[in-house]
Amino acid sequence: MKALFILRAQPLHKGHLYAIKNAEKKFELIIGIGSSNISNTFENPFTFKERKKMLELAGLKNKVFPIPDVGNCEKWVNQILKKIDFDFVISGNKWVKECFEGKKKVIEPKFLKPEKYKATLIREKIVKGEKWENLVPREIVSYVKKIKGEERIRKLAGMV
């Protein structure tokens, strides 16, 4: 059974990894990176290529597909169904669940401490100069620093 795990990974954190590894125990997992066509905003600071690299650095070997936003639920689902073969969708996102209703069964991922491991919270900590590094894998911390992701997030927060 194949499952499409949809996430934005802005940035990839330990909660994502926990959920992905859990899902891999039950399914042949394909990863869909949502909002793949959006970057350099506070909500989506990293590019598709950077997020795909984060998955690789975390040791994940799954097939990865870009899933661009198109502003319409039906068109969004249809573009995914044309491009990717899967049996189930894994997502904790309410909008994703609503979009796939009646088309594919959506499974809620098992996240590790979702109140602690949230990309929004990580970005907010970066803006405030608070410790965030313990929330993401070491390889991702190094990568974010290497690509000047902290500076980018702080700059983008000023534009919100």
Report pLDDT digits (tens) over 131-153. Answer: 999 999 999 999 999 999 999 99
User: Can you state the percent helix, strand and coil of the chain, rounding each to 5?
Assistant: 45, 15, 40
Mean pLDDT of 117-123: 94
Q: pLDDT band at residue 46, thresholds of 50, 70 and 90?
A: very high
Domains and CATH numbers, the chain: 2-157 (3.40.50.620)
Report the alpha-carbon distance of residue 114 to residue 111 in Å, rounded: 6
**How much is the pLDDT for 109?**
93
**How much is the pLDDT for 114?**
75
DSSP 3-state of 28: strand
Q: Report the mean per-residue pLDDT for the chain.
A: 95
Mean pLDDT of 47-72: 96
Indicate the pTM of the whole model.
0.93
Say whether pLDDT at 159 is over 70. no
Place of tokens 């000047």: 148
Contacts 24+ apart (CB under 8 A), 99-108: 99/73, 99/74, 103/77, 107/3, 107/23
